[in-house]
């Protein structure tokens, strides 16, 4: 399948200036929507109806909401619901679908829908672009543009749900961006996805490269979501080579904070480790990783590298991957290998990149 890299968005598109008081409604919870309808002189029960149409019936504008009077619909027609438009949809042979979604200010983000027989997982973006600049990640090569609002995050899930005509069961914050650099909006989105869309917190995974003191803060929120931490190296020097932010937030500090997280929450952490041939994939490094994680309630998720345009890394051979797995298992470390789906649509881990940033 052709890559989406030649995509161009119209350069001439204008940004619509919002009228005062017309911020998008998607992102407001039931109480906030009820307060809003009351502020518009409507009875409180309209709040529940509006909520239902926005979160469960796919309303994209007030015109769609047939239970409201024509008169009221036209008086609030300038208020945006806050839905994106699908600029591009690209399906891989394994049925994974990558979407390029165009936001109100014409920025684009990527979202991936990953179906299996029992699950429909959405890989959501938390930012337009990413500031972390990890050396093996396509998103990082494009730089950072802006944070996504909670509504823009929820919109991605609704879009996939509507397109697949099937309920989304799982969400992973593994698209573009670093969720813990947009913590407030990400936490609000998790709450909306849980309470307003109806997705169990235990079916939500937040993946972070680790931002100083934010993992500890997250622990205090007492969420049921799974925390995944991108480790990618078994020692400080190599990690700092691959991940610029590791230069100022050491591996020791990160691991200490992760241990506190486990202590506070009682939940185990999943450590992600991108396998790069000849860089971090030797059995000796597996042993070093096992030592680093000894006595820790955790799980290691190995991600064989997915090739991207501007990096020279290679994916290890199946034999090298197996040797790494064996070395970890010998040290009693729980491990799994994630073969990313959607490779052919450039939709796999680390391949997400908006073309406006090329
Ligand atoms: N900012 C978050 C989410 C990133 S995407 C984080 O760093 O965790 C989710 C995972 O894909 C991360 O572990 C990321 O390091 C990994 N990844 C990035 N580029 C990759 C690539 N080219 N191949 C395989 N995995 C990659």
The per-residue pLDDT for range 167-187, each reduced to its tens digit, is 999 999 999 999 999 999 999
User: CA 179 to CA 188: how far, in whole Å?
Assistant: 12
What pLDDT, on a 0 to 100 scale, did the predictor assign at position 11? Answer: 39
Contact 260, 210 (CB under 8 A): no
Mean residue pLDDT of the chain comes to 91
User: CA 353 to CA 224: how far, in whole Å?
Assistant: 29
Across the range 297-326, mean pLDDT stands at: 95
What pLDDT, on a 0 to 100 scale, did the predictor assign at position 353? Answer: 66
Q: Which of 31-45, 202-216, 338-352 has the lowest mean pLDDT?
A: 338-352
Domain boundaries, the chain: 30-75, 85-345
* Topology (CATH) of 85-345: TIM Barrel (3.20.20)
Residue 7 pLDDT > 50, yes or no? no
Q: Ligand 1 atom 18: the closest Cα is on which residue?
A: 350
Q: What is the atom index within ligand 1 of the atom nearest the CA of 137?
A: 19
Q: Pick the closest to residue 317 from 271, 273, 278 (CA basis).
A: 278
What pLDDT, on a 0 to 100 scale, did the predictor assign at position 18? Answer: 41
Q: What is the atom index within ligand 1 of the atom nearest the CA of 307?
A: 22
Percentages of the chain per state (helix, strand, coil), in multiples of 5: 40, 20, 45
pLDDT digits (tens, 9 = 90+) for 233-282: 999 999 999 999 999 999 999 999 999 999 999 999 999 999 999 999 99
Q: What is the DSSP letter of 19?
A: P
Q: Pick the closest to residue 150 from 125, 130, 174, 132 (CA basis).
A: 125
C-alpha distance from residue 258 to each of 119, 123, 231, 281 (Å): 29, 23, 11, 23
Residue 153 binned pLDDT confidence (cut-offs 50, 70, 90):
very high
Q: Pick the closest to residue 10 from 155, 90, 98, 107 (CA basis).
A: 107
* Topology (CATH) of 30-75: DNA polymerase; domain 1 (1.10.150)
183-192 vs 150-164: helix axis angle to the nearest 10?
A: 40
> What residues are in contact with ligand 1 under a 6 Å CB criterion?
134, 136-137, 174, 178, 207-209, 230, 272, 274, 303, 305-306, 308, 349-350
């Amino acid at each position: 399948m052709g890559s989406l890299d030649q995509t161009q968005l119209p350069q001439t598109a204008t940004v619509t200036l919002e009228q005062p008081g017309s911020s998008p409604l998607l992102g407001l919870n039931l109480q906030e929507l009820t307060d809003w309808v009351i502020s518009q002189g409507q009875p409180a029960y309209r709040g529940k109806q509006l909520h239902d149409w926005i979160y469960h019936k796919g309303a994209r504008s007030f015109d769609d909401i047939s239970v409201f009077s024509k008169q009221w619909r036209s008086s609030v027609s300038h208020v945006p619901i806050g839905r994106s438009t699908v600029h591009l949809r690209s399906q891989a042979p394994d049925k994974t679908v990558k979407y390029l979604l165009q936001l109100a200010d014409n920025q684009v983000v990527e979202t991936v829908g990953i179906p299996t027989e029992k699950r429909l997982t959405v890989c959501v973006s938390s930012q337009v672009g990413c500031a972390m600049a990890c050396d093996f990640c396509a998103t990082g090569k494009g730089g950072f543009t802006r944070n996504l609002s909670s509504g823009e995050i929820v919109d991605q899930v609704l879009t996939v749900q509507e397109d697949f005509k099937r309920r989304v069961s799982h969400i992973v914050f593994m698209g573009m961006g670093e969720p813990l650099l947009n913590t407030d909006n990400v936490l609000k989105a998790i709450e909306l996805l849980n309470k307003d869309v109806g997705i169990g917190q235990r079916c939500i995974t937040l993946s972070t490269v680790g931002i100083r003191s934010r993992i500890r803060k997250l622990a205090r929120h007492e969420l049921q979501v799974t925390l995944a931490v991108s480790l990618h190296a078994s020692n400080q020097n190599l990690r700092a080579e691959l991940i610029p932010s590791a230069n100022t937030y050491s591996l020791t500090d990160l691991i200490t904070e992760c241990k506190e997280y486990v202590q506070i929450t009682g939940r185990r952490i999943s450590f992600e480790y991108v396998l790069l041939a000849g860089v971090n994939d030797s059995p000796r490094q597996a042993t070093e990783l096992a030592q680093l994680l000894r006595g820790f309630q955790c799980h290691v998720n190995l991600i064989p590298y997915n090739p991207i345009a501007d990096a020279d890394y290679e994916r290890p051979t199946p034999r090298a991957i197996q040797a790494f797995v064996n070395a970890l298992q010998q040290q009693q470390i729980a491990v799994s290998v994630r073969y990313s789906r959607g490779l052919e649509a450039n939709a796999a881990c680390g391949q997400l990149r908006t073309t406006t940033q090329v």
